[in-house]
Chains A and B, each alone.
Chain A
Amino acid sequence: MARAELREPFNPLRLPQGYPVALLVSLGVTLLAIPLLPYFDHANTIMLFLLAVVGVAARYGRGPAILVAVLNGLSFNFVFVPPRFAFAFDTLQAILTFIVMLIVGLIVGQLTARFRYQAHIARAREERACHLYEMARELSGAVAVEHVIEISERWVETSLRIKARLLPSDDRDCLLQAIPTRPEPLSVDLAIAQQCFDRNAPIDSSGGNLSGLALWYLPLEAPPHTRGVLVVAPDPRRPSSLGQRQLLDTFTALIAIALERLHFAAVARHTLVKMEAERERNSLLAGLSHDLRTPMAALIGSTEALALELAAGQPSYRDSLTAIREQTMRMALLVDNLLDMAKLQAAGGVRLRKDWQSLEELVGSALRMLEQPLRDHPLQLALGLELPLVNCDAVLIERVLVNLLQNAAKYTPPGTVIGVAARAETDRFTVDVWDEGPGLPVDHQEDLFEKFTRGHPESAMPGLGLGLSICRAIIEAHAGAISAGNRPGGGARFTFTLPLETLPPLEMDDEPDLEPT
């Protein structure tokens, strides 16, 4: 065959298989024809010989066909053409018989060969299409560059039976030598690969590398970008066919598209994050400009009023001073919240200073901090007598309690009860902070934990809507959960949980009772 087979390698033992058969067929037909000779004339006998040639040609192709045509020509001449049992090529008839036999053999053999070859090509095409389809399917499911590398290298090796190595490019157009995914990876020259990538043109390196193999460096083009380089080591014993090259081109195109898709997926993700950050920044700016400007305007006004009052010798300056102090405190609180949020969002997450804490103690100190805002609210504490210690960051959990209680004080009318209830279950600790106020808007209770989200956005209540998102960040850092809801009897309830761990044992003996001396 003129063109290299795609699927099966050259096999020297396979081809001559038809020749012995041709010999046998020729012998057989001669022996068969001898007893028939008295009953048939030569013209009919020769049909048998011709049939044998057609048969062998159809079955075994051109070579055996020629052999059987020559043998049949000779044996017919030898056995049947007078003088019998002697070669006689002196008559035109004998030569004609011989030539016809040869031509028939050649034509049929040629036809068979072409037919076979086309069947073979069709099979190979189907297989290639199948491989392409399979690879495309796998590539479309790949979610990481590593997957693309593994899939590509595997399919190039399976389909073309040549070794391959995929070098993807990073954001700065440098090729990366990823961890090899195949056993005995191809050792490639990164400099040549980079050159191929930069020029965006294939490079054929002959014997340039250690193993002495010729390597092809093929750029993975996904216009307008190049996404990497595919390096393959073609088998030097088998020159590559056109079909193989085409297949390789299709593979590179597919791989390039897969890498391009991953690239744009990453870009899209990045853009989403940026948009979210942008949204946050915008609402922060909007919130800040309102919540910082208002107290600042009040501060400036109050100090100027104070100056006037002092100049005029009026004794009423106390009001201005009180106003200045209140506005400053409000700003200080805001700045605290902003700082907390920034700290909680710091790269690498929150650093928890965990320690065994008594929840009763944390509630107690939170309540002490909020003595002023809570003075108009009766408190109802249900903390249980034997609450276990919780392993948590005291400062942060106190912050959660302060924020929740502060919200309760802020959004409920004076005189209504505010409560804290805590209970321990098998594996977690649950704390409720509830009130008897108007409750939460029904439709977006989860949104309350988003930054800069407030139950009633147009509310005149000062605040940035940071308090609850700070709570959520803290509780989630502790592997707990926080949720908001309304109580059946009216009012809001915020619930958070913390995982319960086993307290290390106490090792020290303590006398049960101290005897007075």
Chain B
Amino acid sequence: MAAAETALTVLIVEDEQAIRRFVRATLEGEGHRVHEADTLRQGLLDTGTRKPDLVVLDLGLPDGDGVDFIRDLRAWSGIPILVLSARVEEYDKVEALDAGADDYLVKPFGVTELLARVRAVCRRYARGPSGATVVTFGETDVDLQRRQVTRAGQPVHLTAIEFRLLATLLSQSDKVLTHRQLLRAVWGPAYVERSHYLRIYMGHLRQKLEADPARPRYFLTETGIGYRFCPA
């Protein structure tokens, strides 16, 4: 396999040896350096000493709550965190994302999914805060600075809130944004529980920017979690 553009140091915090082995093999195949930890305590220690570029964290560890781990880590570090969760922990992963995790994978997952997520996370961090003022996806061009949207050359009229929502999604492309995160960013902290605002405005945005709003290509739904903007 071809080595990634940049070799990363990855820490896997996972108690299942089989999963650790498979994740390690996959990432090492991509040319990354991999360290393993099988408890949250060890994981937290290793994050301090190994200085990884990415943490792959299993939410179901025997010695504690993965969400607490994320909060601890976020108190002093902004390194990307990719969460692994089983289906029974459906709502834990929302909490993990709200706490600051960057993305998640649901077990069972395949090599392709794992690599795609790792690449997306790293791309976002490598790129840093997007300096681009024009974002293009499909036939749509969004000029963030001039607050102008065109689709196939025709201007698209967005309301102020619709534009704020669009800009928030575009600023974190490929990343899942939870309902709370979007509500907080677009409407403000007082609105984090009013998810119907988000549904309605997301509907508007898709009506205006998707070819088939019922089967969106760019503004994807992560049911029960949030939304993800996929420029590809």
Binding site for B on A (CB under 8 A): 325, 328, 332, 336, 339, 343, 353, 355-358, 360-365, 367-368, 381, 383, 389, 393-395, 398, 503-504, 506, 508, 510-514, 516-517
Contact A365-B220, Cβ < 8 Å, known A339-B88, A358-B199 = yes
Number of B interface residues, CB 8 Å? 36
B11 CB to closest chain A CB (Å) equals 27
Would you call B223 an interface residue if the criterion is a C-beta within 8 Å of the partner chain's C-beta atoms?
yes
Do A510 and B160 have beta carbons less than 8 Å apart?
yes
Contact A506-B200, Cβ < 8 Å, known A332-B108, A381-B214, A514-B147 = yes
Would you call B154 an interface residue if the criterion is a C-beta within 8 Å of the partner chain's C-beta atoms?
no
Would you call B52 an interface residue if the criterion is a C-beta within 8 Å of the partner chain's C-beta atoms?
no
The residue in chain A whose Cβ has the minimal distance to the Cβ of B86 is A339
B220, B221, B222 pick with most chain A CB within 10 angstroms: B221
Do B196 and A503 have beta carbons less than 8 Å apart?
yes
Pick from B91, B148, B220: contact of A368, CB under 8 Å: B220
B191 CB to closest chain A CB (Å) equals 8
Would you call B6 an interface residue if the criterion is a C-beta within 8 Å of the partner chain's C-beta atoms?
no
Do B159 and A510 have beta carbons less than 8 Å apart?
yes
Contact A364-B108, Cβ < 8 Å, known A339-B87, A503-B196, A516-B148 = no
A411 to B196, CA, bound (A): 36
Would you call B195 an interface residue if the criterion is a C-beta within 8 Å of the partner chain's C-beta atoms?
yes
A329 CB to closest chain B CB (Å) equals 8
Contact A514-B223, Cβ < 8 Å, known A336-B87, A355-B195, A364-B214 = no
Contact A395-B203, Cβ < 8 Å, known A511-B159, A517-B147 = no
Chain B residues contacting A508 (CB-CB under 8 Å) are 161, 187, 191, 197
Task: Name 24 A/B residue pairs within 8 A (Cβ), A-sorted.
Answer: A325-B110, A336-B87, A353-B224, A358-B203, A362-B223, A363-B214, A364-B213, A365-B223, A367-B214, A368-B215, A381-B214, A383-B214, A389-B200, A395-B223, A503-B196, A506-B196, A506-B197, A508-B187, A508-B197, A510-B160, A511-B159, A513-B159, A514-B163, A517-B146
A194 to B158, CA, bound (A): 79
Would you call B92 an interface residue if the criterion is a C-beta within 8 Å of the partner chain's C-beta atoms?
no
B158, B159, B191, B202 pick with most chain A CB within 10 angstroms: B159
Do B223 and A367 have beta carbons less than 8 Å apart?
no
Q: Mark B57-94, 1 if CB is under 8 A from A, else 0.
A: 00000000000000000000000000000011011000
Would you call B189 an interface residue if the criterion is a C-beta within 8 Å of the partner chain's C-beta atoms?
no
Do B197 and A357 have beta carbons less than 8 Å apart?
no
A57 to B202, CA, bound (A): 105
Known A353-B224, A356-B196, A398-B223; 8 more pairs at CB < 8 Å:
A325-B110, A339-B87, A357-B199, A358-B203, A364-B215, A395-B90, A510-B160, A512-B159
A301 to B202, CA, bound (A): 48
Chain B residues contacting A383 (CB-CB under 8 Å) are 214
A511 to B90, CA, bound (A): 37
B189 CB to closest chain A CB (Å) equals 14
Number of A-B contacts (CB under 8 A): 90
A512 to B216, CA, bound (A): 24
Do A514 and B159 have beta carbons less than 8 Å apart?
yes
Chain B residues contacting A360 (CB-CB under 8 Å) are 203, 213-214
Contact A513-B157, Cβ < 8 Å, known A367-B215, A508-B187 = yes
Chain B residues contacting A355 (CB-CB under 8 Å) are 195-196
Chain A residues contacting B223 (CB-CB under 8 Å) are 362, 365, 394-395, 398
A504 to B161, CA, bound (A): 19
A355, A361, A506, A513 pick with most chain B CB within 10 angstroms: A361
The residue in chain B whose Cβ has the minimal distance to the Cβ of A363 is B214
Would you call B162 an interface residue if the criterion is a C-beta within 8 Å of the partner chain's C-beta atoms?
yes
Do B91 and A353 have beta carbons less than 8 Å apart?
yes
A383 to B87, CA, bound (A): 29
Do B87 and A511 have beta carbons less than 8 Å apart?
no
Do B202 and A516 have beta carbons less than 8 Å apart?
no
Chain B residues contacting A513 (CB-CB under 8 Å) are 157-159
Contact A394-B224, Cβ < 8 Å, known A364-B216, A389-B199, A506-B197 = yes
Chain B residues contacting A393 (CB-CB under 8 Å) are 224
Pick from B157, B187, B221: contact of A361, CB under 8 Å: B221
Chain B residues contacting A512 (CB-CB under 8 Å) are 159
A46 to B146, CA, bound (A): 141
The residue in chain B whose Cβ has the minimal distance to the Cβ of A504 is B196
Chain B residues contacting A367 (CB-CB under 8 Å) are 214-215
Do B87 and A361 have beta carbons less than 8 Å apart?
no
The residue in chain B whose Cβ has the minimal distance to the Cβ of A329 is B108
Chain A residues contacting B91 (CB-CB under 8 Å) are 353
The residue in chain A whose Cβ has the minimal distance to the Cβ of B224 is A395
B201 CB to closest chain A CB (Å) equals 8
The residue in chain B whose Cβ has the minimal distance to the Cβ of A367 is B215
Do A510 and B199 have beta carbons less than 8 Å apart?
no
Do A514 and B158 have beta carbons less than 8 Å apart?
yes
Chain B residues contacting A363 (CB-CB under 8 Å) are 214
